[in-house]
Amino acid sequence: MQQGIDQAARHILETNDKGGFTVPTSGLYPYQWNWDSVFVALGFAQFDPARACREIETLFEAQWDDGFVPHIIFRRDDPDYFPGPSFWQAGAKLPSSGITQPPVAATAIRMLRDTTADTAVRERIDALFKPVLEWHRWFMRYRVPESCGAVVITHPWESGRDNSPEWDAAAANIDVSQVGPYTRRDLAHADADMRPTKLDYDRYVALVEFGRDTGWDHGAIATGGPFRVADVGMTMILLRAMRDLIALAEATGHSDDIDELESYVVRLNRGVEYLWNAESDTFCSRDTITGAHSGFVTSASFLYAYADAGTPEQRAKMAAHWHRISSRVEYMVPSHDPDDVLFDHRRYWRGPVWIVVNYMIAIGFREQGLDDWADRVRSDSQRMIREHGFSEAFSPLDAGGTGGTNFSWTAAMWLAWCGQGS
């Protein structure tokens, strides 16, 4: 049984491998996605470290001169996906989107480096230090203002948590009156009740049009864009990645960069404070235009442990949320608070469990000595996959698969984490 699941997971990665890069799943997502690739690399590392390294190298092939790394790389035009390259009109060396995604690369590269004995692969991993450093600098220049210290996203897609209720209030201010007709392709591949709504999509399209009209000028988008929300997920992920990059700098002889990186850690820690909402007693996202907190407890809130963030008092409040939520759902960790009216156990980031987020949450809990919580996250993840296969995401109530199937990052997480020794 175990061997069968391991083989099935490996088969998904090999089938979705399009030659140096892996698509998240065929049909629904036919290109290379930024954070998907990084998690997928951790899966490949279990049986082919050189291929794992290649996945991250191909991601950075699309890096722009200013350090920016896009969230999608379009190596060809595929009618299965909207919006494609002709809509984005972005890219430097390769056609791409003009927005980014959660910066998990430094953390994964550090893990790959620590676990590979192959010196040739190690040299290639070390060569990724500078490109990742440039990407982090890009974040600090354009997306982490001194005023708040948190990572400010300019499109919900950048968060990776596309339709989280965290964006609803800020997105309501996006003008969709000029959005022309377009045809969604996602609904040909997944049930409409598992996907974002038409209004969500109108807003996504309006934001792409805004960025495109600036010629993808990230400075202009950061200061004048209609959607600028400090994202709790991105902030926790970048804070952790910054520390992992410091460790990589030490290990690879880049000690000259360490002072700069430490100053970024200080700024991001201020960002964590900016994201604490004393009313809801949680870390959550915050609209930088209005100053309003979302007030929601999401799975991203629990990334405080992964980022080693928060005071003892804040951690105690998060513990109360953990106990409340874990008694409400069968499978942890729901992407949205099950006690909130907007919770929807099947709709994308409004309730379903995402295995990659569980992975990061479990790493954080383990590091903080919260072993019971880490064990619960891991065993729930394992059960969901055993019971329902390699879905994109899972209902926290009944583990029913939601979204796409044969999903690369779910398979990768089985191999690299929750399926190990099961």
Chain residues in the site for ligand DGY (CB under 6 A) = 71, 157, 162, 186
Residue 125 or 190: the one with the smaller Cβ distance to ligand DGY is 190
Residue nearer to ligand DGY on the CB measure, 161 or 321 = 161
Q: Give whichever of 162 and 337 is closer to ligand DGY, judged by the CB atom.
A: 162
Spatial CA neighbour of 143 closest among 208, 64, 219: 219
β-bridge mates for residue 394, sequence order: 353, 401
CA distance 220 to 8: 46
CB of 97 to ligand DGY, least distance (A): 8
Q: In terms of CB distance, is 35 or 359 closer to ligand DGY? A: 35
CA distance 366 to 371: 5
Two tokens, residue 123: 């040299």
* Closer of 162 and 287 to ligand DGY (Cβ): 162
Location of structure tokens 């350090």: 67
Based on CB atoms, which residue is closest to ligand DGY, 186 or 257?
A: 186
Nearest residue (CB) to ligand DGY, 101 versus 235: 101
Nearest to ligand DGY of 17, 186 (CB atom): 186
Question: What DSSP assignment string belongs to 321-373?
Answer: HHHHHHTT-SSS--SB-TTSTT--TTSTTSS-B-HHHHHHHHHHHHHTT-HHH
Burial 393-415 (b: 16+ CB within 10 A, else e): bbbbbebbbbbbbbbbbbbbbbb
C-alpha to C-alpha distance for 74 and 221, rounded to whole angstroms: 22
d(CA 76, CA 108): 27
CB of 157 to ligand DGY, least distance (A): 4
Determine the Cα–Cα distance for residues 105 and 304; give it in Å rounded to an integer: 18
- Report which of 233, 68, 194 is spatially closest to residue 140, judged by C-alpha positions: 68
Q: Where are the beta strands (DSSP E) in 120-211?
A: 152-153
Give least dist CB 339 to ligand DGY, A: 26
Q: Which among 82, 60, 41, 84 has a CA at the least distance from the CA of 184?
A: 82
Could you give the C-alpha distances from 141 to 2, 32, 128, 221, 295, in angstroms and in order? Answer: 46, 25, 20, 13, 27
Q: Which residue is nearest to ligand DGY (CB)?
A: 157
Q: How far is the CB of 119 from ligand DGY (least distance, A)?
A: 36
**Residue 162 a catalytic site member:** yes
Known catalytic residue at 392: yes
Is residue 407 within 8 Å of residue 24, measured between CB atoms? yes
Least distance between ligand DGY and beta carbon 40 (Å)? 15
Residues 248, 110 contacting (CB under 8 angstroms): yes
Q: Residue 381 and residue 334: Cα distance in Å, rounded?
A: 11
Contacts of 41 (CB under 8 A, 6+ apart): 52, 53, 55, 56, 108, 112, 412
Selected catalytic residue, list 17, 158, 162, 231: 162
Q: Do strands 286-287 and 229-230 pair parallel, antiparallel, or not at all (unpaired)?
A: antiparallel
* Residue tagged active-site, from 55, 158, 380, 392: 392
CA dihedral of residues 314, 315, 317, 322 (deg, nearest 10): 150
Q: Catalytic site residues?
A: 162, 392
